[in-house]
Amino acid sequence: MSTKNPTDWTIAEARKSLEAGETSALDLARAFLDRAASVEPAVHALLERTTDRALSDARAADARRAKGERGPLLGIPVVLKDIFATRGIPTTCGSRILEGFVPPYDADAVERLSRAGAVLVGKSNLDEFAMGSSTENSAFGPTANPWDTGRVAGGSSGGSAAAVAAGECLASLGTDTGGSIRLPASYCGVCGMKPTYGRVSRYGVIAYASSLDQVGPFARTVADLADVLGVIAGHDPRDSTSVPAPVPDYAAALDGRVAGLRIGVPREYFVPGMAPEVEAAVREAIERLRSLGATIVEVGLPHTKYAVATYYLVAPAEASSNLARYDGVRFGLRKAAADANLLDMYRETRDAGFGAEVKRRILLGTYALSAGYYDAFYLKAQKARTLIRDDFAKAFAECDVLATPVAPTVAFGLGEKTEDPLAMYLSDVLTISVNLAGLPALALPCGFDGAGLPIGLQLIAPAFREEAALRVGDAFQRATDWHERRPPAPGAAKGGAR
């Protein structure tokens, strides 16, 4: 069918070819593994290429197809952020402290992908314990942006975003605690979605901040995202915060119609310091939606300015507790001199195992929860969180979906913000509120700046109304071609022949 290289396809295109018998899952797996081999030296999206697993998954998928089975992800090559526990496959979370850890269990989302017949080609790079906005906090080196390898991929799910952008897989999974799917999607020019908190099980997903963490997909198109979300969403009795609500047919909701929809534009989201090209591209995208028949309304989210402060108390507090289990006793790294006592063992292990940002957040969170500071910091932040939630409730009384930029700028340079944690935190200023409110939000490309770097549009929907954001995003993609652009082959450009 397509003259395009399979690694440039969408899931929909690949599925068509598989169903037509023009290609096999095994062919696809090999093509994507080859592609990964060629681009990885320049991109470093993956921490591990699961070649054997990919080939056996692909053969199994072909066998299932031969028996007449069909499915949206049957035989589709995927990548998992290395925060998902994978039975029998090392799982690092980007940290030295999980050195040697091989989980005896799969995350729920991983089980669901396996049942759907997806083919696992690798596990992707991330900021250590998902703490970061650039994937530079990985203990195993940063991931480069496939559009410009001198720039960051965004984070923390930078590897998953870059893997899709660089054609190493057709879809990937990430997690989003404060923007960790949407920011890298935006920086890498792909689509990413953070579903409603409770929509996708967190079972087997290594926790950063449990009340904010949510699993979500990356893909090249919104329609592809809908396919992946349909597979991973749903109630899981192993996660007490998983919500037993029916999962709609997301693909069926993509009817291309936005006429009559009210799209809210929060005035607080066009912040001072925003790159003019970003603002222009996002405003133009909103105009495009208007031209497609949507009604545009300006709304207010007045507590937005407190979101970053709130987040950087709530998330580190939870993290300080979630990361206490890395103590060198049951799994992972242990660092201790022969004569070390117990306290030495804890302190040396955690000093050697955690990177600077993780330590920073553990200390910050410990501080926020400690005696004498709890009320002023943690409790205050929880109350601010209520006000931020209420803002959205009020805004959604006036509109169906919110449209905003994902980030104030395009991807920044590697190393540019590593010395200034606070500046790094402010990259998430437009994504964090959504996590605090537990809402679903979609990021999709809506333009490029003068240097050819992608710009992202964020579409935020009410809780458990993922399909509303997906419908708008899909309609936008039917009318535009930003999502069809592909980055220059990073490996080929640098190294020549593979």
Partner 1 sequence: MPVSLEDVRHIALLARLGLAPAEEERLRRDLDSILGYVAQLESLDVSGVEPTAHVVDLPTPLREDRATNPERPEEMVENAPDRDRTFLRVPKIIE
Partner 2 sequence: MSDAPDYGPWEPVIGLEVHAQMLTESKLFCGCSAKFGAEPNAHTCPVCMGMPGVLPVLNRRAVEFATRTALATGCEIPRIARWARKNYFYPDLPKGYQISMYDEPLAVAGGVEVETPEGTRRVRLTRIHMEEDAGKNVHDAHDDHSLVDLNRAGVPLMEIVSEPDIRSAAEAADYLRSLRAILQYLAVCDGNMEEGSMRCDANVSIRRRGTTELGTRTEIKNMNSFRSVERAIDVEIRRQIEVVEGGGRIVQETRLWDADRGQTFPMRSKEAAHDYRYFPDPDLLPLVSDPAWVEEVRRGLPELPAARRDRFVRDHGIPPYDAAVLTARRDVADYFEAALAAHPNPKSISNWIMGDILRLVRERKLDDALVITEWPVAPAALAKLVALIDDGTISGKIAKTVFEEMVAGGGDPASIVEKKGLRQVTDTGAIEAAVDAVIAASPDKVAEYRSGKDKLFGFFVGQVMKATGGKANPQAVNDLLRSKLAG
As annotated, the active-site residues are 81, 156, 180
The verdict on 328 binding partner 1 (CB under 8 A) reads yes
Lay out the site mask for partner 2 across 157-196 (x = CB under 8 A, - = otherwise): ----------------------------------------
Candidate list 127, 224, 327, 428; residue touching partner 1; CB under 8 A: 327
Cβ proximity to partner 2: between 371 and 497 the closer is 371
Torsion on CA atoms 42, 480, 278, 419, rounded to nearest 10 = -20
Q: How far, in Å, CA of 65 to CA of 117, rounded? A: 9
Q: How far is the CB of 95 from partner 1 (least distance, A)?
A: 14
- Binders in 336-395 for partner 1, by CB under 8 A: 336, 340-348, 350-351, 354, 356, 359-360, 362-364, 366-367, 370, 377, 379-387, 389
Cβ proximity to partner 1: between 262 and 380 the closer is 380
Which partner from the list partner 1, partner 2, none does 471 bind, CB cut-off 5 to 8 Å by kind?
none
| 77 DSSP β-pair partners | 119
The verdict on 211 binding partner 2 (CB under 8 A) reads yes
The verdict on 198 binding partner 1 (CB under 8 A) reads yes
Q: How far is the CB of 372 from partner 2 (least distance, A)?
A: 9
The verdict on 437 binding partner 1 (CB under 8 A) reads yes
The verdict on 476 binding partner 2 (CB under 8 A) reads no
The verdict on 147 binding partner 1 (CB under 8 A) reads no
| 297 DSSP β-pair partners | 264
Q: How far is the CB of 365 from partner 2 (least distance, A)?
A: 9
Candidate list 51, 56, 211, 409; residue touching partner 1; CB under 8 A: 211
The verdict on 425 binding partner 1 (CB under 8 A) reads yes
What amino acid is encoded at 84 in this protein?
Answer: F
Structure tokens at 63: 């066998």
Which partner from the list partner 2, partner 1, none does 493 bind, CB cut-off 5 to 8 Å by kind?
none
Q: Enumerate binding residues for partner 2 (CB under 8 A).
A: 83-85, 91, 93, 98, 101, 103-105, 107, 202-207, 209-211, 237-241, 317-318, 320-321, 323-325, 327, 329-331, 342, 346, 366, 369-371, 374, 378
Q: Enumerate binding residues for partner 1 (CB under 8 A).
A: 100-102, 104, 197-198, 211, 237, 240-241, 243-244, 303, 305-306, 308-310, 312-313, 320, 324, 327-334, 336, 340-348, 350-351, 354, 356, 359-360, 362-364, 366-367, 370, 377, 379-387, 389, 421-422, 425, 436-438, 463
